[in-house]
Amino acid sequence: MSGNYVHGYTEREAERLHDQAETLTGLLHGDTRYPAGSRVLEAGCGTGAQTVILARNSPDARITSVDISEASLEAARKRVRDAGFKNVTFEAGDIFDLPYEPGSFDHIFLCFVLEHLADPRGALERLRPLLREGGTITAIEGDHGSTYFHPDSPYARRAIGCLVDLQREAGGNALIGRELYPLVTGAGYRDVHVSPRMVYVDSSRPDLVRGFTRLTFTAMVEGVGEDAVGRGLMSREDWERGVADLYRTAGSDGVFCYTFFKATGRK
């Protein structure tokens, strides 16, 4: 699978992904539910943070979750097993070369996968034959360019820019959310609809202050600090100020906004 996971495969990153998934469950997944008996392919399941939500929302669907990383699959199996779900099968596989017969699935689901691929449209094209006629695809992505906050800080904005730059160097695209409509339609799907899902955080929403501003977004930016400083993208002093300013937006007078994009289409 082309592209590299810029955030790494550490235990802390697995925890961050779990925090993100649980914090955003209603916003991103509340309208994703599959009928009993549906055959669902989760393409790129990672450590299973989204898998448990899929299994919970569609307990009578038959979910096949694939990932190219054996370490991620092991973590995903444990996460789903610990949650008590029995409707998920895990398999190792590259989404550009999956072994399933045409029409094997009623639905395909991808979440935070396309942003890490050098050829996201190609991935969507390769997945399309696996759907039955009339089957659906759902793709969810973020867009780091949609971030804005108070108090504003050029250092914080540059730190976010470093993450965008590093992900581009790794073959991915941290601004892919805004591209979902042309990507999905260009890959041959019809009836494509994209809905923006904004996360708005202020101190009246302490669950989001902790779960999104601190533990999801700022932790994600903070995690690439050594790379950013080591490659000379920012000085260590400026980087540390940028991260501190992002945490500052989680204060009592802080505000943080970010937009995800959810695309659905049909074969």
Q: What is the pLDDT of residues 215-253, one digit of tens each?
A: 999 999 999 999 999 999 999 999 999 999 999 999 999
Distance in Å from the first CA to the final CA of the chain: 23
How does pLDDT run across 244-259, given as a tens digit for each residue? 999 999 999 999 999 9
Vertex 180: Cα angle to 178 and 181 (nearest 5): 100
Q: Is residue 136 part of a domain?
A: yes
Integer-rounded Cα Rg, in Å, for the chain is 18
- In this prediction, residue 7 carries a pLDDT of 47
Instruction: Tell me the whole-structure pTM to 2 decimals.
Output: 0.90
Q: Is residue 226 part of a domain?
A: yes
Q: Is residue 188 part of a domain?
A: yes
Whether 97 has a pLDDT exceeding 50, the answer reads yes
**C-alpha dihedral sign at 220, 226, 231, 232:** positive
Per DSSP (E only), the strands in 131-174 are: 131-142, 148-150
Q: Is residue 2 part of a domain?
A: no
Q: Is residue 75 part of a domain?
A: yes
Cis peptide bond N-terminal to 151, omega within 30: yes
Backbone dihedral angles phi then psi of residue 259, each to the nearest 5 degrees = -120, 130
- In this prediction, residue 16 carries a pLDDT of 47
Q: Is residue 77 part of a domain?
A: yes
User: Domain span at residue 172?
Assistant: 11-266
Rounded Cα gap, residues 90 and 162, in angstroms: 34
Q: Is residue 175 part of a domain?
A: yes
**Residue 20's pLDDT band (boundaries 50, 70, 90)?**
low
Give me the CATH number covering residue 180. Answer: 3.40.50.150
Asked if residues 128 and 189 have their Cβ atoms less than 8 Å apart, the reply is yes
Helix, strand, or coil (residue 174): coil
Q: Is residue 203 part of a domain?
A: yes
What is the tally of structural domains in the chain? Answer: 1
Min mean pLDDT across 26-30, 54-58, 70-74, 178-182 is at 26-30
